Amino acid sequence: MDRLIYTAMTGASQALEQQAVVANNLANTSTTAFRAQLATFRAVPMNFGDGSQTATDTTRTFVLASTPGADFTPGPLQRTGNPLDVAVQGQGWLSVLTADGNEAYTRAGNLHVDENGQLVTATNQPVVGNGGPLSVPPGADVTIGKDGTVSALIAGDPPTAIAIVDQLKLVNPDPSTLQRGDDGLFRTADGNPADADPSVVLAPESLEGSNVNPVAAMVSMITNARQFQMQTKLLESADQNEQAANQLLNFS
């Protein structure tokens, strides 16, 4: 009887975890360049004997979550007309610096210039240039090219005075080596900075939308709710069967 209880219990628990993942994805359907989180599960056979059992002697099978991944499919491009907005076309990432000074990666290219003259993301992480954090002259009109080249024209200067000040570090590491952090940024699994990749191309004055499919996410929520309901019914059935068995023992 306990086999049914443990199987149903772990199944219900993982259905709730899956529902949380889908809910988080739905909450980020409007987040710039958001990558949908993927949750996978695996069955884990458990033996509780002396270790001599074979695969056919498994007494219980639990359901466990595997390492969550991400859907790296590019989202739709949306033109904004803002010269500080950039979207990565195809595969690739913008490099940013985190609070601990390490490098991380994002595709959210809604940039702005902070009070220190640094080009930063919407969450205030400095973007990385050729020599570290990228800075621009105060009060300058800034434009960003397809190759990540950052140009600045100081107010009052003629258009011919526009000058290149730096270049965004664009990278394209193997997606299987990337891990998403709690801050939404991606990092390499070994912690080493990825090499710059000149083949990465930007779409200036544009932003990438979330790659979450709201319709598919809603269908998943319904499926998960039904799965949870089924597992809880199994738990109820197991409890009822146990009570019936106890009554039979009392009669005997």
Domains of the chain by residue range: 2-71+212-251, 77-208
pLDDT, position 70? 92
- Confirm if 245 and 22 have CB atoms less than 8 A apart: no
- Confirm if 26 and 218 have CB atoms less than 8 A apart: yes
Average pLDDT across the chain, whole number: 85
Structure tokens at 204: 């200036």
- The DSSP output letter for 57 is G
Length of the chain in residues, anyone? 252
Cα distances from 32 to residues 76, 85, 121, 178, in angstroms, run 10, 11, 11, 19
pLDDT in tens, 188-245: 999 999 999 999 999 999 999 999 999 999 998 898 888 877 777 777 776 666 666 6
pLDDT, position 38? 87
Q: What is the pTM of this model?
A: 0.77
Average pLDDT, stretch 123-150?
95
Residue 168 burial class via C-beta count within 10 angstroms: exposed 0-12, middle 13-18, buried 19 and up: buried
246: pLDDT strictly greater than 70: no
Structure tokens at 25: 């994805």
Average pLDDT, stretch 37-50?
66
Block residue for tokens 């100081």:
154
6: pLDDT strictly greater than 70: no
Residues 6+ apart with CB under 8 A from 145: 151, 202, 204
Q: Which of 56, 62, 54 is nearest to 2 (CA)?
A: 62
pLDDT top residue among 243 and 109 = 109
Average pLDDT, stretch 2-29?
78
pLDDT top residue among 135 and 248 = 135
Distance of CA 116 to the CA centre of its chain: 30
Secondary structure (3-state) at 126: strand
